[in-house]
Amino acid sequence: MKVTIVGTGYVGLVTGACLAEIGNDVFCVDVDPRKIEILNNGGVPIHEPGLQEMLRRTRAAGRIQFSTDVKASVEHGDIQFIAVGTPPDEDGSADLQYVLAAARNIGKYSNGFKVIVDKSTVPVGTALQVRRVVEEELKARGLEGSEKHGFSVVSNPEFLKEGAAVDDFMRPDRIVIGIDDDRAGNLAREKMKRLYTPFNRNHERTLYMDVRSAEFTKYAANAMLATRISFMNDLSNLADTVGADIESVRRGMGSDPRIGYHFLYAGCGYGGSCFPKDVQALAQTARENGHTLRVLEAVEAVNHDQKEVLVNKIVKRMGEDLRGRTFAVWGLAFKPNTDDMREASSRRIIESLLARGATVRGYDPVARDEAQRVFALDLADRPDDFKRLNLVTTQQDALTGADALVIVTEWKEFKSPDFWHLKSALKTPVIFDGRNLYEPEAMAEMGIDYFAIGRPHVELDRNGSSR
């Protein structure tokens, strides 16, 4: 099938590569010439495991192309995926200008029946706005009501985890498709069914529903996952106060099959491109319709405060004035297996340490360049603080001579380090762990002063042993 993907970010690029992988003829278009140049030269503008290899195969087979030619892209695909960004507006609502611009181009250059697929995460009612924009462009061309230039707007939200997006697309747990119940919708349903047939070989994974329900489903799913994270983080702060171990609590909760273990880990807050903006957008949709999603607003408030919890532990242990102190920070991206720095907890933590006069040496396996760019913007009006931030290329470079280690992202290579070497590299053997990677008792036995999230702090005696 001939498919066009508008936008080459995480969602668009993964969608295009995976659809090309199973044999479709895919045209990826983007208004950013820099991205297209990178892709045409064999590179990938994002870090996503398995994506570069897949693009190499599909490009060599001639099943995927990249261009800035909007007209050619519209003419190419019977199915037009809109996979552009929907960043949060000032009031928290989703900014739809890029979605509607893509829709306008489809109406402007349409050369036949088009299935227009909203793949971007969009609020309820967006499909109707897309429809109106396309109709306006067709009317301007004198093609309004033309059967040849008919179209149907479909909602097909993505459920891709950064760091596992390729596998999520190729082995989906569900495929949600929202389609209107009319003649154009029936044509669109047949095309979407054919497109996704290869992903339903073992069993049917496709859930058909009305368009508004499909739009709502994406926000509801992300809001539920964010709620679990914030709930555990809220509990972890209480566990700190009453002396409970949140890891034991998590196991006790998660063993209940009605609850399960997924997204029940306490930490230093969620980030990324989805949860923060989707929680805000759903809450704003509620407000616009005269409702208050009280649970969801609490979820956002807890997450905001959670990003300071680790800093508060550092201040309690080492004092408010951190001038002359150096901190090694392991993990900059918002989660492992990505270089995405959007809403990353490391940004708040590092900026808070720098504001107190500390020097920070940060390390991340893949996000160093993106972090350098982001912090240069974040600290543009704080040049003295920016000078005290050094993003290094190895774990060891971050550790040597530091007053403490701060763990922010749970990369695999951080889970089982050489603790004796780590202890000797640090000026003082102190770890502030924002992801609860280690066992407090084991750390104390090695003479490491260990502070985690919602886990008991084991005191060390004067000889550096636990007591």
Nearest 5°: the CA angle 226, 360, 304 is 20
Residue type at 405?
L
> Using one digit for the tens of pLDDT, what is the confidence trace for 22-35?
999 999 999 999 99
The number of beta carbons lying within 10 Å of the beta carbon of residue 76 is: 19
Q: Is 329 in contact with 349 (CB distance < 8 Å)? A: yes
Residue 347 has pLDDT above 90, yes or no: yes
In the structure, what pLDDT confidence band is assigned to residue 93 with cuts at 50, 70 and 90? Answer: confident
Binding-site residues for substrate, in ranges, read 159-162, 218, 263-267, 271, 335
Give the residue-averaged pLDDT of 10-14.
96
Residue at token pair 């006069």: 357
Percent of the chain with pLDDT over 90: 93
- HSE toward the beta carbon, residue 393, CA cutoff 13 A: 0
Least confident of 58-72, 125-139, 145-159: 145-159
Which residue has better confidence, 89 or 232? 232
Angle of the 211-242 helix axis to the 294-306 helix axis, nearest 10: 50
State the Cα angle at 390 between 388 and 392, rounded to 5°.
165
Q: Is the pTM of this model over 0.85?
A: yes
Report d(CA 155, CA 120) in Å as an integer: 9
| Other beta carbons less than 10 A from residue 379's beta carbon | 20
For all residues of the chain together, what is the average pLDDT? 95
Tokens encoding 82: 């809109």
* Six-digit token string for 418: 């050489």
Whether the CB-CB separation of 448 and 419 falls below 8 Å is answered with: yes
pLDDT-derived band at 465, boundaries 50, 70, 90? low
The answer on pLDDT for 464 being more than 90 is no
Binding residue numbers: 30, 35, 86, 121, 159-162, 218, 263-267, 271, 277, 335, 342
As annotated, the residues of the chain forming the CATH 3.40.50.720 domain(s) are: 2-209, 307-451
66/59 Cα distance (integer angstroms): 10
Residue type, 315: V
The answer to whether residue 332 scores a pLDDT higher than 60 is yes
What is 307-451's CATH topology? Answer: Rossmann fold (3.40.50)
Domain with CATH 1.10.1040.10 in the chain: 219-305
| Top-level class of domain 2-209 | alpha beta
> What's the CA gap between 196 and 282, in Å, rounded?
28
pLDDT of 461 reads 65
Is the pLDDT confidence value at 145 over 80? no
Closest to 256 measured CA to CA, from 268, 264, 266, 244? 264
Residues annotated in a binding site for NAD(+): 30, 35, 86, 121, 162, 277, 342
The answer to whether 268 is a known catalytic residue is no
Alpha carbon separation from 429 to 238, 317, 390, 420, 434 (Å, rounded): 26, 13, 21, 10, 16
Q: Where residue 302 falls among pLDDT bands split at 50, 70, 90?
A: very high
Residue 343's pLDDT band (cuts 50, 70, 90): very high
Instruction: Determine the average pLDDT of the residues in 418-445.
Output: 96
Other Cβ atoms less than 10 A from the Cβ of 23: the count is 12
Determine the Cα angle at 180 with ends 177 and 186, to 5°.
Answer: 85
Which tens digit of pLDDT belongs to each residue from 269-297?
999 988 999 999 999 999 999 999 999 99
DSSP state of 199: G
pLDDT at residue 250, as a whole number: 97
Question: Mean pLDDT throughout 328-350?
Answer: 97
Furthest-apart CA atoms within the chain: distance in Å: 85
Q: What are phi and psi of 411, to 5 degrees?
A: -65, 145
Q: Is the pLDDT of residue 467 over 70?
A: no
Active-site residue, selected from the candidate residues 18, 28, 268, 274: 274
Q: What is the DSSP string of 249-310?
A: HHHHHHTSTTT-STT----S---SSSHHHHHHHHHHHHHHTT---HHHHHHHHHHHHHTTHH
Statement: residue 462 has pLDDT above 80 = no
The reported pLDDT for the residue numbered 203 is: 83
The DSSP symbol for 328 reads E
Q: Is 208 exposed, middle or buried (0-12, 13-18, 19+ CB in 10 A)?
A: middle
CA-only gyration radius of the chain, Å? 25
For residue 84, which of 122, 54, 131 has the smallest C-alpha distance? 122
Give the per-residue pLDDT at 466: 57
Number of helices and strands (H, E) in the chain? 19, 14
Kindly report the CATH class assigned to 219-305.
mainly alpha
Amino acid identity for residue 272 in this structure? G
**pLDDT single digits (tens) 371-405:** 999 999 999 999 999 999 999 999 999 999 999 99
CA-closest candidate to residue 305, choices 345, 356, 278: 345
CB of 83 closer than 8 Å to CB of 119: yes
Which residue's structure tokens are 């923060």? 276
Note whether 426 and 328 are within 8 A (CB): yes
